Amino acid sequence: MRKEYDFSKARKNPYASQLKKQITIRLDEDSIGYFKEISEQVGIPYHYLFNDPVYNTEIFEKEGWKVPNNLSSTLAYCKAAKAKGYVPMAWMGAVRGQAAQIFNSMLMNSTSDYATLEKNLLAINTGKDDLTTPWFTGIAENYKKMLDADCFPENPTGMTEAAGNNLFATGKSPILPTGSFSMGAVKALNPAMTGKMQLMGLIATDAKPNYVGIHNSTFILGVNNKATSSDQKIALSFLSYLMQGEIGEIYATGTTQHVNVLNVSYAKNVDLLNTSVWQSYKTLLAPRFLITDAAVSNLTNDALIAIVGGKPIDATLADFSKQIKQKLAG
């Protein structure tokens, strides 16, 4: 190699102009808008909950049942529990938000990977796809399988949250398909349930699952960037206070909610302690909230509720797809 080179007579690279061309990724406007919107919302998740069914460990032990770990064993459990006189799952079809908890579970293993799941939900959110796609129809068919296996209560779409919690608290239903956040309400109804609750994954496939459950953080802490500098300092001080281990422990014990805080002991709340093992499991952040349009989300969940109520799958999905299209157009 020479120490110096003479480029005075060099020719201009004929391909240099091509290197100046802009290289782009094919992202449509809806996708760009979606990610731009969520990038502007930042916060610290304080508590940590699991949107997974809670089951009565005492009943399962007494009946000799194994906790279902796939679709087939879930359907078999429902038939066995029904035969024993139980309401297999205290599903609250009259309350959209609680009825939709199992929608998260139905979604989590409905695709081969998360990227595909996200893409499918974004397509429904923007109207590119509707509810009649083979993928979503498959989810609806799993609801129908559970209905046919008697997983749901009599008059499932009329079951209120209070009635569902009561069925579980009194031992009439071995499974409450809501989440860890319901344990406090159950103990308020029946203190004897303390220490007799555990979480289970509702795995709606017989293949190897990508995830075993759902988690979420619905208490997000943040500081308003439009507040004055002094107010922001006060807010940050309060957040620092909440992030202390002893304060996080008080919150967790009092609310029966796990927290994203270091050095927290759940020893004072046996149900939190028993279910804290789920913090080490492979769970998915509640995917139903990827449908960010409230009207689309509500109609999507209402379609599934209607199917559990006995409406035919194809006609119901077509009807609600039409309603979603009209909402998005309006």
pLDDT of residue 8: 53
pLDDT of residue 47: 87
pLDDT of residue 327: 96
Strand residues in 6-50 grouped as ranges (E): 44-45, 47-50
Predicted confidence (pLDDT) per residue in 146-169, tens digit: 999 999 999 999 999 999 999 999
Positions of the chain with pLDDT lower than 50, given as ranges: 1-3, 5, 7, 10-28, 31-32, 35, 38-39
Spell out the domains of the chain, with CATH numbers in brackets: 49-216+270-329 (3.40.190.10)
pLDDT of residue 157: 97
Q: How many Cα atoms within 13 Å fall on the side-chain side of residue 244?
A: 9
Structure-token pair, residue 214: 């759902």
**DSSP H or E segment with residue 221:** strand 220-221
User: Helix (H, G, I), strand (E, B), or coil: what is residue 11?
Assistant: coil
Task: Supply the pTM of this predicted model.
Answer: 0.84
Predicted confidence (pLDDT) per residue in 59-94, tens digit: 999 999 999 999 999 999 999 999 999 999 999 999
Structure-token pair, residue 164: 């569902």
Supply the DSSP symbol for 235: H
